[in-house]
A and B are shown apart, each in its own frame.
Chain A
Amino acid sequence: MTTTNPSVITDEMRAIVGVEGAPATLEVERTNCRMFARSVGHADPIFYDVDAAKAAGYRDIVASPGFLGTPIFNPNRPPAGPAEMSGRGYSIPYKRVLNGGTEYEYFPENDVICAGDTITVRGKIAGFEETTGSIGPMLITKRETTYTNQDGKVVAKMYGTTIQY
């Protein structure tokens, strides 16, 4: 995509493309699964009740779609937004940020994410793109996050798109 605006992508930014950040640990717990499901408005008992989840063929309460996007909060680290937007370690001149999209690939043949799982989260920036839209020049950041469970199995991959303008 051609643009008449000067590029905001620096060598420093190019250097971090494809570099995996430090892994983080996400404990999938019953209370969190219930709270997330409630905040979405789920009525299905597999997201709340252990017996119902087991009767439906799952190991435990199921983490409902979108649960993995919950940031792992630590007040002693820089503030993080939703997982698909977090981890900016560079500065660019644009002040506004939008979530452009969220895509998850799940690997149910490995396992379905349930309460009791301990997930190792590894993220990287897959690339930067620049374009100009109705809101002016923008930087599009593509992210990839891999979620590996306690058995070493990849259970999900997230592809996120952040728009800064």
Chain B
Amino acid sequence: MAEQTYFDDVKEGQELPEFTIQPDKQQLVKFAAGSGDFNPLHFDEKFPMLKGMGIADNIVHGRFKYAQVGRIVFAFAGYKGRVKKFGVSYRGMDLINTPIKVKGVVTAKKQEGGENIVELDVWTEDADGKKTTPGTAVVALPSKG
């Protein structure tokens, strides 16, 4: 677990620590089991619908990407922070065995209703730098005082 982030230290424009994943078939099968989403698009490269879509390999689950972005949001909030809102749009498909960067940046900080609110832009990015899963999050953070 990363160290607790405090509201006092957060700056607009601050980048969250990023990480890169490259989900392979084992990972997508694991997520199928963990999430209950057994759509063959995600683990059977011969699934006819993929051919119909002109895609030669399996597609990474949208909700797997949501959960990856969730890792960066929850790590930023820390144990004493709380995630109040967190959503993504699925704008582009990511294929199995391709690198996916998970990133975030602070867009605003304000005190609202007695809470220290931080707004984030969060997203996944493919190898070409395209944001395939752009989203936003709202986190309440503790202050040092």
Contacts and interface: CB of A to CB of B under 8 A. Distances in A.
Interface string B2-40: 000000000000000000010000010011011111010
A104 B35 contact: no
Interface string B83-119: 1111111100000000000000000000000000000
B63 A103 contact: no
Contacts of A109: 82
Nearest to A47: B74
A106 B86 contact: yes
Interface in A56-82: 56-58, 64-66, 69-71, 73, 81-82
B79 A56 contact: yes
Nearest to A158: B87
B84 A40 contact: no
A104 B86 contact: yes
B35 A82 contact: yes
B85 A46 contact: no
Nearest to A39: B34
Contacts, number: 109
Contacts of A46: 1, 79
B123 interface: no
Interface residues of B, number: 38
B84 A106 contact: yes
Given A39-B30, A57-B80, A81-B39, A105 B85 contact: yes
Contacts of A9: none
Nearest to A56: B79
Given A44-B1, A73-B36, A108-B82, A39 B74 contact: no
A42 B31 CA distance: 12
Given A45-B1, A56-B79, A102 B63 contact: yes
Given A35-B34, A96-B49, A65 B73 contact: yes
Interface in B62-80: 62-64, 66-68, 70-71, 73-75, 79-80
Contacts of A58: 79
A65 B84 contact: no
Interface of A: 35-42, 44-46, 56-58, 64-66, 69-71, 73, 81-82, 96, 98-109, 112, 159, 161
21 contacts: A35-B33, A36-B35, A38-B34, A39-B30, A39-B35, A40-B34, A40-B67, A41-B71, A57-B79, A64-B67, A65-B67, A69-B63, A71-B37, A82-B37, A99-B63, A102-B63, A102-B90, A103-B88, A104-B85, A106-B82, A108-B84
